[in-house]
A and B are shown apart, each in its own frame.
Chain A
Amino acid sequence: MVGGSIAAIGAGLAVLGAGLGIGQLGGKAMEGIARQPEAASKIQTAMIIAAALIEGVALFGVVVALLGNG
């Protein structure tokens, strides 16, 4: 078997979840800005906040993976 560990696979799955979530979020934000350019700054602020919260959850997974590895 190649080198590595199950913990690394777990971290990769957590990052996959975050990527999907934030990607969807970014896509909807783009659509919203395209429909109403005047609201661009409000949408951008809300998007950044939601992205930070989703990233927090993904990093939960990464922290558990690091703990499992070390």
Chain B
Amino acid sequence: MSLSRILNSKKIRFSAVFALFLVFVNYQTAVKAQADTSLEKAPDTILNVAEHAAGEEAAGHESEHGAEEKFNPTKVIMEHIADSHTWHLWGETSIGLPVILYTDKGVETFLSSKFHHGEEAYEGKYYTYKLIEDKIFAVDANGNIDKDASSHVYDLSITKNILAIWISVALLLIIFSSVSSAYRKREGKAPKGLQSLLEPIILFVRDEIARPNIGYKYAKFMPLLLTLFFFIWINNLLGLIPIFPGGANVTGNIFMTFVLSFITLLAVNLNGNKYYWKHILLPDVPWWLYPIMIPVEIIGVISKPFALMIRLYANISAGHIIVLSLIALIFIFKSIALAPVSVAFVLFMDVLELLVAFLQAFIFTMLTALFIGTAVDEHHH
């Protein structure tokens, strides 16, 4: 057995990585178990180690974690689904993300690790801020919410979802720019590697989604449909991965799906031709039906993208809530014997979620193509 054979074998490389991962996980658990038994819990934010005034912080947190709190599943589940100002990695480690506040006196920026998970107020340049139930308020000296000042504080921070969107955008740019440069370099040759993985999927979007629904003008809308499809799919998939860089619930955030459906609304109505608007405003029905048809059609313009928004948000959030609830079962019953059953169910739900991730991206893109098709349809009676 030569050394090069060991290093080149894929199986051996994979086993080595997996072994390192297991060692890492067991080390973390062992460290945590030791920390538990000695009742010393010092939260360890990566960018805050220098400010570890050891005495007062350790004492303060010890008194909080000393007593056994009743496990509140709703609170824990909602914490994992919602957006937040810090990215909690594992155990007690979390990344503090930049907080950018636009107040009426000026712009303030600081790291959210200064909030110490919502326990301390932070004195900024203009106001003092505190994180109350994951929202930033301006507080006065005693810690009470200053309603008047808070109304002038606009929160434009980089939150967990925004960082996750940047990560998925970077991933998409890397993948697709490498594929497009490969097509340019290998002009006339057969596709190789990542190209041959993505080509059937892109052709699927063109032949099953764009062409049947839009007709011969499909080429103009292909970039939009491809972007929607891959962006939603990759965000759904990243939301299923439990550790960094996945694990942020992007498409399960209703504001995110609102923006996506707003893009659909714009794309459909800005491309509507004369016949599309004629169907809405002067439909081909007897005149005495106009008072019913016209309001219904106008509401239909808004309600179709609204349905897209709710469908994507609810499907993805529901999937995450189910998986989190099944895991929370272990903590509700406080028994490790439930773990194999729970993990088996979670595995089944996760496979279903993989299907749902693809399906929801497909449905969103298909319905967008359908609406665009009705907008650019030619007159044919």
Contacts and interface: CB of A to CB of B under 8 A. Distances in A.
Contact of B311 (A48, A49, A56): A56
Given A52-B359, A55-B315, A56-B363, 10 more contacts: A48-B359, A52-B315, A52-B363, A55-B311, A56-B310, A56-B311, A56-B314, A59-B310, A59-B311, A59-B314
B318 interface: yes
A9 interface: no
B314 A63 contact: yes
B371 interface: no
Interface of A: 48-49, 52-53, 55-56, 59-60, 62-63
Given A49-B366, A52-B363, A60 B315 contact: no
A60 B314 CA distance: 7
A48 B313 CA distance: 19
7 contacts: A48-B359, A52-B315, A56-B310, A56-B315, A56-B363, A59-B315, A63-B313
A53 B307 CA distance: 10
A64 to B, nearest CB: 10
Given A52-B359, A56-B307, A62 B366 contact: no
B161 interface: no
Interface in B295-346: 307, 310-311, 313-315, 318
B251 interface: no
Nearest to A58: B314
Contacts of A59: 310-311, 314-315, 318
A6 to B, nearest CB: 17
Contact of A60 (B310, B359, B360, B363): B310
Contacts of B366: 49
Nearest to A51: B359
A49 B315 CA distance: 14
A62 B314 contact: yes
Contacts of A53: 311, 363
Contacts of A60: 307, 310, 314
A53 to B, nearest CB: 7
Contact of B318 (A48, A49, A62): A62
Contacts of B314: 56, 59-60, 62-63
A52 B360 contact: yes
A60 B315 CA distance: 10
